[in-house]
Amino acid sequence: MGKKVGENLPSISVCIATYNSAKTLDRCLRLVRKQTYPQEKIEIVLGDGGSIDGTLDIAKKYGARVVSIPKEKQHAEYNRGVAFNSAKGELALILDHDNFLPSKNWLRQMVEPLLRHKEVVASSTCYYHYSKELDLMDRYFALFGTSEPLPFFLHKADRMLQYSKKWNLVGKAEDFGDYYLVLFEKDPRKFPSIGSNGCLMRRKLVLMHAKADPENHYPVDVLYDMVAAGFNKFAFVKNSIIHLTHQRGFWGFLKRRKRFVEQYHFEEHQKRRWSVVMPGDEFGLFVFVIYSLTILGPLYESFKGYLKIRDVAWFMHPVMCLGTTLIYGYVFLKFKMQSILKSLIIYRQQ
């Protein structure tokens, strides 16, 4: 990675939300502790929602500090927010328990642009790590650089396409060799879904200018808050992070996505400052529905990707687009009917 970062390095707090996360946490923390970054400058903070598996034993094994979350508050975003607000490092790395650092120099690579450019708010990776050994679903998301097709279609994906050699996300980018410096507009529709899965940020700066308290700590919202406050320069390092979250397959994805849409787009909508679908995105959403139902657009993207990287996972795209459309449509109709029924009950009581 270009010029080596000097040893006058900032302290880093690795902030992780956990709840019965033993299945993946050991590997996650082991790879953090194997970093060439000075370990005395790394603290690991877990916001734990009451794990009863081996999560706490694993935390102790790797010297992590555990902050307990009351049972009634257990929630991935809240847990992560508690960890972030309990952290002491100059920088905060937002990591999920199913995120794995793919190289020993990963932290040094991520810190480099923050050292060289004091105006940079945070650094993220350009890619999700891709390997033929990954499960089909995880290969699909690594190839497309997103956790679902809708952000990809609306140009809000958090990572680049696996075959992209030049910047292809939103924002105005300048190439610095090992990383891009990217300027974002204040328009939330032109901000990518970054913030988690290995995003490294200036902790105190974020606490000063964003709604970063546990009740409002949605990582992408927090970083959009920074852009809205005028801190709009970010770095994207030309490396990757391993993100294994879809090993339960397609049906597991649909079930998880249904809960995600219900929770983040409806139940907690009033707290959000950013969303995949913002006011003004209605036409884009309509086009996505047509794109998904006609199948031709997703098939074209699949064939284009397959010619670059020969992997059948590209051809999950038509299925994923259709599944996403059905899930969003179902949840929208469900909450719309609930709203209508609630209005009728109120009307009859008057």
Query: In this structure, are residues 232 and 128 in contact, taking their beta carbons and an 8 Å threshold?
Result: no
Give me the numbers of helices (H) and strands (E) for the chain, helices first please.
Answer: 12, 10
Expressed in angstroms, the distance from the first to the final Cα of the chain is 68
Inter-helix orientation angle 136-144/317-349, to 10°: 90
pLDDT value, residue 340: 79
Picking from 190, 170, 188, the residue whose alpha carbon sits closest to that of residue 180 is 170
Q: For residue 46, what are the β-bridge partners?
A: 16, 66
Tokens of 327: 């899930």
Tokens of 341: 């029924």
Q: For residue 173, what are the β-bridge partners?
A: 182
Tokens of 323: 């599944």
3-class state of residue 92 by DSSP: strand
Rg (CA), the chain: 20
pLDDT value, residue 3: 42
Q: According to the 3-state scheme, what is the secondary structure of 24-84?
A: HHHHHHHHHHCCCCCHHHEEEEEEECCCCCCHHHHHHHCCCEEEECCHHHCCHHHHHHHHH
Q: Is the pTM of this model over 0.75?
A: yes
pLDDT value, residue 249: 75
DSSP string, 159-228: S--TT--S--SSSEEEE-SSEEEEE--S-GGGS-S-SSSSEEEEHHHHHHHS--SGGG--HHHHHHHHHH
pLDDT value, residue 194: 95
pLDDT value, residue 235: 98
Picking from 145, 187, 183, 172, the residue whose alpha carbon sits closest to that of residue 301 is 145
Q: For residue 127, what are the β-bridge partners?
A: 240
Picking from 167, 164, 153, 42, the residue whose alpha carbon sits closest to that of residue 92 is 42
Query: In this structure, are residues 138 and 244 in contact, taking their beta carbons and an 8 Å threshold?
Result: yes
pLDDT value, residue 2: 42
pLDDT value, residue 350: 66
Half-sphere exposure of 10 (CA within 13 A, CB side): 23
pLDDT value, residue 125: 98
pLDDT value, residue 282: 92
DSSP string, 279-307: TT-HHHHHHHHHHHHH-HHHHHHHHHHHH
Calpha distance 10→56 (Å, rounded): 27
pLDDT value, residue 248: 67
In the 8-state DSSP scheme, what is residue 267? I
pLDDT value, residue 146: 92
Calpha distance 86→19 (Å, rounded): 17
Q: What is the pLDDT along the chain (350 residues), one digit of tens a residue?
A: 444 444 689 999 999 999 999 999 999 999 999 999 999 999 999 999 999 999 999 999 999 999 999 988 988 999 999 999 999 999 999 999 999 999 999 999 999 999 999 999 999 999 999 999 999 999 999 999 998 999 999 999 999 999 999 999 999 999 999 999 999 999 999 999 999 999 999 999 999 999 999 999 999 999 999 999 999 999 999 999 999 876 667 787 788 778 777 877 777 777 889 989 888 999 999 999 999 999 999 999 999 999 999 999 999 999 999 999 999 888 888 877 877 787 777 767 76
Q: For 81-127, what is each residue's pLDDT tens digit? A: 999 999 999 999 999 999 999 999 999 999 999 999 999 999 999 99
Q: For 28-74, what is each residue's pLDDT tens digit? A: 999 999 999 999 999 999 999 999 999 999 999 999 999 999 988 98
